[in-house]
Amino acid sequence: MRKLIILAASLFAASAWSDTATVKIYSLDVMERVQTLELIDVTAEKSPSANAEGLDAELQAILDEAVAIEATDEEE
């Protein structure tokens, strides 16, 4: 009986230790991965594409008005 209790206690301790170790590895992985992702240098420059869909009259008018306001402000 005593052997059985010792065995059960050992198994319990082993499983608890195992869980802790897994959590630490997982947490380190996440932080390392985040640091790696942050180092990705994103600088692509794109010119307007010929494949872009045309704007409908309403949207084109709003866009033109906004650009015109900015142009006026730059002239001042």
Please name which of 46, 44, 28 lies closest in space to residue 36, comparing C-alpha atoms: 28
DSSP class per residue in 15-39: HHHHHHHHHHHHHHHHHHHHHHHHT
Sign of the CA dihedral 54, 68, 43, 36?
negative
- Nearer CB in complex with another protein: 2/54: 54
By CB under 8 A, residue 26 contacts another protein: yes
Q: How far is the CB of 2 from another protein (least distance, A)?
A: 37
Any contact of residue 59 with another protein (CB under 8 A)? yes
- Report the interface residues with another protein, using CB under 8 A: 23, 26-34, 37-49, 51-53, 55-56, 58-59, 62-63, 65-67, 69-70, 73-74, 76
